[in-house]
Amino acid sequence: MRVGVIGLGIMGAPMARNLLRAGHGVVVYGRRRARVEPLVAAGATAADSAAAVARAVDVVITMLPDAPEVEEVVTGRDGLLAGAGPGLLVIDMSTIAPAAARALAARAAAAGVAFLDAPVSGGEQGAIAGTLSIMVGGERAAFDRAQPVFAALGRQVTYMGGPGQGQTTKLVNQVIGATTLAAVAEGVVLAARAGLDPAAVVQAVGSGAASSWMLTEQAPRMQRRDFAPGFMVRLQQKDLRLALAAAAALGVPLPTTALVHQLFAAVEAQGGGALGTQALVTALEALAGPPRAAG
């Protein structure tokens, strides 16, 4: 298929590479030449606007920070709908509010364009390996059309229902993931203050009921002070704000999520918004204060 990719950051660039490896023709658009040029060298074609991407492909993927950026790319003056021909399929793989996804789906449908909200889980590693979990909302026929694209990007692809339901599922994912990460960070701080061997703790705990991806992947990063971003704190905060707003609209209390949101706010207050989410451990270390003297 001819596939466009707009949003060439930590997630979008490796996704474009995986589409190329799968044999798709890939057209990319980005405002930073430094992100576009390596993909062109790998075999992609560069376009000078979102509208130009739409005119050149069958399917367009957007992977952008938040709803305003997605709305501009889709509905703006030089956006996808401005260049769309009959049968174009737009797949937004960003994480945005479910209501925003539904509104975009309606705008696209009015222009004769199919639209899927298909946010992902798995972070940078999953994007590189092509093992993302993809949760999809939209018309079933559009979902079926998108299968060759999803096959190049993810291991688990799940149809969740109509427009916005993919985004709602992603918010559930973020609630579970962020609160689990906080529990792992608490355990890491406790283990360190108790003088336990870091690797042995992960091995012991990871073999029992407390095992999780967050433990096996993020605890070692916390322990070796590796805060490079696979997923940034500021983006996690955006997702948690969306989750808390959606829950409030449904009358669902999320007290643990609210606490984790505040802990991440403490990391942001110390200038850590661009760090990886594993930097959450620094907020808990600050709360613990300096280690107590022995005896």
DSSP string, 129-184: HT-EEEEEES-HHHHHHTHHHHHHHEEEEEEEESTTHHHHHHHHHHHHHHHHHHHH
The pLDDT score that the predictor gives to residue 294 is 62
Catalytic residue among 170, 221, 238, 261: 170
Which CATH number among 3.30.70.360, 1.10.3720.10, 1.10.1040.10, 1.20.58.340 corresponds to the domain 169-288? Answer: 1.10.1040.10
pLDDT exceeds 60 at position 148: yes
The pLDDT score that the predictor gives to residue 291 is 84
Residue 50: both structure tokens together:
């979102």
Average pLDDT, stretch 129-146?
A: 98
Asked about 238 being catalytic, the answer comes back as no
What is the residue whose two structure tokens read 């992609």? 44
- Of the pLDDT bands very low, low, confident and very high (cuts 50, 70, 90), residue 88 is very high
Query: Does domain 2-162 correspond to CATH entry 3.20.20.450?
Result: no
The pLDDT score that the predictor gives to residue 62 is 98
pLDDT exceeds 90 at position 293: no
Question: pTM for this one?
Answer: 0.93
- Domain segments of the chain as ranges: 2-162, 169-288
